[in-house]
Amino acid sequence: MAVLPPGVSQRTLDAALAEWRSAIGSEWVFTSDEDIYGYRDSYSILWGTDEERIPSAALAPASVEQVQQAVRIANKHKVPIYPVSTGRNLSYGGPSPNVRGTVVLDLKRMNRILKVDDTRNFCLVEPGVTYFDLYNYIQERGLKVMIDLPDPGWGSPVGNSLDHGVGYTWGPFRDHFVSHCAMEVVLPNGELLRTGMGGMSNADTWQDYKYGTGPSTDGLFGQGNFGVVTKMGFWMMPMPEAYLRGMVYAPKFADVIALVKTVNFLEDQGIIGMPNYGSPARTAALPFNKPADPDLLALMANGYPSVEQVDAYVAKKGVPAWSVQLQFYGPRKTVEANWEYAQAKMREAIPGATFDGVYRTDLPVPKERLDEVVLRHMGIPALEIFNIVSRNESHGENPPDGHNNCVAIVPRTGESLMTFSKAVIEGMRAVGDMRPWSPFTTPATWHPRTFLCGPSVFTQRNDPESNARNKRLYESLVDTYAKYGWVDYRCTHAFQDRVVSKYDFNNHALMRFHELLKDAVDPNGIISPGRYGIYPRSMRRTRA
């Protein structure tokens, strides 16, 4: 495949490749079709089209010094590079760059765990370290800290955090960018920057205090393209004594308003870990791997149903409209007291609230009980997530290869959940997607202060027509969300321009500010052009 970065000749690319080979070793500079295949995004909705974000080459440096050299060479030849940590960011671009032809800078060889401290409760890691690596390191040494991790566990704490990724345990740790503490970054000119206390050579507080003295620039490097992050620290949770989970059920559709308020009250004072919302009514309406309930189809057939109509449906099905699984981490007596308190608060707020499914275990979870828990809720890396979404058994003979999550930032209220399904249906119907849908939207709660809502859109490498159709669907969802004030918190390359275009305040002041900074920090535009819609001046389209 003859792919080149925009505005870069084969000759220029070859010159850069030659220098990279001499800087980091020719066995770590990849240009063959076979090698490049591994840097394609197997979840790409653009697979096999001219738009697919195929790299022209890939480099895998082994050290910070080699990264600096690689960046300097890129800058000299104005050849764009796209750093990836482990390239496992599936559904969000995987190992592929934003702009076709960009050279992937693969940091997987930089996989040292530099420090795990279980008295100050932090770690310092390189980008190639995976959650499995970190977990094994901690287990081998018997350190008393819990990891907060995303699914699947093969990803990188550094990469996940830099894409504003998320996890599953207690609020202060679930937002992986919030829980990071300071970075080391190779700037586009090859210079090494350490942020926060790392700015002081002899400070031993680099992973304790985020800011240093003066402004903080870490935010630029999350979902940004201002440098190559080569080290990051993360705050960790000391291993709690015990875990308790319990289910709460709310009978009626509008109970979700009081349910969410009560969960927020518990969450925001740290009483619970991640709440897992569910809807027994939705399970009845759209049973897994079976046809939709005919009563649901009738309910949704004549315009969007009223609250009363939905409640009549729920009553007929004889199940609660909503559920939430509450999780508690802490001392044994504390998790019991907190669960008791949560039930009391729920009873106050929701007439007819019911409870069951209480499960208790000491932490860390004893080996013989591991099959009773969701591993990622316990800070244990796993690949169990691949049972769901595009890889589950519901898809028949030609199952999808992947999915792109079209997940929007939605206010943390029951009202917004009651409206969200309406928007999804609008977005689907606008492109002729007539699949059955229910009024029961349940949010992801990875970010402790906001809801994330939205469906997965499937991708299929052997079916370009399906991809084209699903691309239109995704775009329609993005456009429809925006009418309601919602927008994706994160998305794959193919949709980033569209998503960030929704940030329209004061004629896109936020993007114009990002571009101003980009031009200053990376005048040759060599780091990750196009990432989250930020292009260097040379590639910048006129904003409509």
Least distance to a second copy, CB of residue 348, Å: 12
Smallest CA-to-CA distance from 156 within 223, 107, 210 is with 107
Q: Are 93 and 53 in contact (CB under 8 A)?
A: yes
Least distance to a second copy, CB of residue 464, Å: 27
Q: Which is nearer to a second copy, 29 or 220 (CB)?
A: 220
Q: Are 350 and 284 in contact (CB under 8 A)?
A: no
DSSP H helices in 269-350: 280-285, 294-299, 307-317, 332-349
Q: Which is nearer to a second copy, 380 or 408 (CB)?
A: 408
What six digits make up the tokens of 164? 């504003």
Least distance to a second copy, CB of residue 332, Å: 8
Residue 111, SS3?
A: coil
DSSP 432: T
Q: Which is nearer to a second copy, 213 or 387 (CB)?
A: 213
| Cβ neighbours, 10 Å, residue 203 | 15
Q: Which is nearer to a second copy, 87 or 240 (CB)?
A: 240
Which residues share a beta bridge with 29? 59
Which residues share a beta bridge with 105? 59, 83
Q: Which is nearer to a second copy, 284 or 477 (CB)?
A: 477
HEC per residue, 225-245: CCCEEEEEEEECEECCCEEEE
Tokens 């094994």 identify what position? 136
Q: Are 455 and 406 in contact (CB under 8 A)?
A: yes
Which residues share a beta bridge with 250? 322
Cis, bond preceding 152 (omega within 30 deg of 0): yes
Least distance to a second copy, CB of residue 201, Å: 5
Least distance to a second copy, CB of residue 365, Å: 16
Which residues share a beta bridge with 458? 403
Least distance to a second copy, CB of residue 139, Å: 19
Q: Which is nearer to a second copy, 268 or 308 (CB)?
A: 268
Least distance to a second copy, CB of residue 521, Å: 7
Exposure of 31 by Cβ count < 10 A (0-12 exposed, 13-18 middle, 19+ buried)? Answer: middle
Q: Which is nearer to a second copy, 182 or 299 (CB)?
A: 182
Least distance to a second copy, CB of residue 168, Å: 16
State the Cα–Cα distance between residues 249 and 443, nearest whole angstrom: 16
Q: Which is nearer to a second copy, 437 or 489 (CB)?
A: 489
Residue 36, SS3?
A: helix
Residue 68, SS3?
A: helix
Q: Which is nearer to a second copy, 81 or 285 (CB)?
A: 81
Least distance to a second copy, CB of residue 144, Å: 8
